[in-house]
Amino acid sequence: MDPAERKARCERFARLCRERGLARTVQRRVIFEIVAERTDHPTADQVFELARKRLPGLSRTTAYRVLELLADLGVVTKACSPGAATRFDPMTQRHHHLVCLRCEKLVDIVDERLGRGVALPAAQARSFQVRDFSIHFHGLCAACQRQARAKQRGTVDQSNRAHQRGLERQRASGRQERSKR
């Protein structure tokens, strides 16, 4: 990430804390930095694990609380896919999403032209105050398309096997990590 951009974000965060009379604790600083460094969409638990490496005494409760606070301040945004854990996204500029209907992968799209011309119908615009919008594209990612085709043919090729194993690992990982404790 661009260092200037990163510094600007940290300063924005510090300013918002001052304005709201919030204490600048190590926990808040570290958790903010971790989310700001990421370009994927970590879950609260993933952020907690990462933060704990720098701050061994950190509690899960605090990680959740701080992330909620950051979302409230508007320095991170929350994203979700149905049935899965909330994910936190440092991207505060307008962006859109690709959501795979099968494996639930979530990909950001930044493209200014994309939302051009999108505006709320006048009737709703009077009562609802729009801050921003985002477009969700639902469909199939490349790997899931390959897999669907293979299934139709009644065969399974190696790359699809790999993708499926990846899926299973991903779904099981939360449980495993948790049960270690």
Partner DNA sequence: TACCAGATGGAAATCTGTGTCAAGGAGAAT
Partner DNA sequence: ATTCTCCTTGACACAGATTTCCATCTGGTA
Instruction: List interacting residues with DNA (CB under 7 A).
Output: 21-28, 43-45, 55, 57-62, 64-66, 68, 82-86, 171-172, 174-176, 178-179
Q: Which does 61 bind (CB under 5 to 8 A by kind): DNA, its own copies, none?
A: DNA
Minimum CB separation of residue 44 from DNA in Å reads: 4
Residue 98 CA, chain-centre distance (Å), reads 12
Residue 137 touches which member of its own copies, DNA, none, C-beta under 5-8 Å by kind: its own copies
Give me the residues that bind its own copies (CB under 8 A), please: 78-83, 86-87, 98, 100-101, 107, 109, 111, 113-118, 120-121, 124, 127-142, 145
**Which does residue 60 touch among its own copies, DNA, none (CB within 5 to 8 A, set by kind)?**
DNA
Burial class (CB in 10 A: 0-12, 13-18, 19+), 12: middle
Q: Which long-range contacts (CB under 8 A, 24 or more apart) does 59-63 make?
A: 62/27, 63/27, 63/31
**Cα distance between residue 36 and residue 8, in whole Å:** 11
Query: Which lies closer to DNA via its Cβ, residue 27 or residue 160?
Result: 27
Q: Which of these, 72, 76, 25, lies nearest to 47 by C-alpha position?
A: 76
26-64: b or e for each residue (b if 16 or more CB lie within 10 Å)?
ebbbbbbbbbbebeebbebbbbbbbbeeebeebeeebbb
Shortest Å, Cβ 160 to DNA? 20
CB of 79 to its own copies, least distance (A): 6
Residue with smaller CB distance to its own copies, 29 or 77: 77
Neighbours of 68 (CB within 10 A): 15
The item of its own copies, DNA, none sharing an interface with residue 145, based on CB under 5 to 8 Å by kind, is: its own copies
138 versus 180: smaller Cβ distance to its own copies: 138
Closer to DNA by CB, 3 or 82: give it. 82
Write down the residue that tokens 């994927």 correspond to.
40
CA–CA gap between residue 73 and residue 111 (Å, rounded) = 25
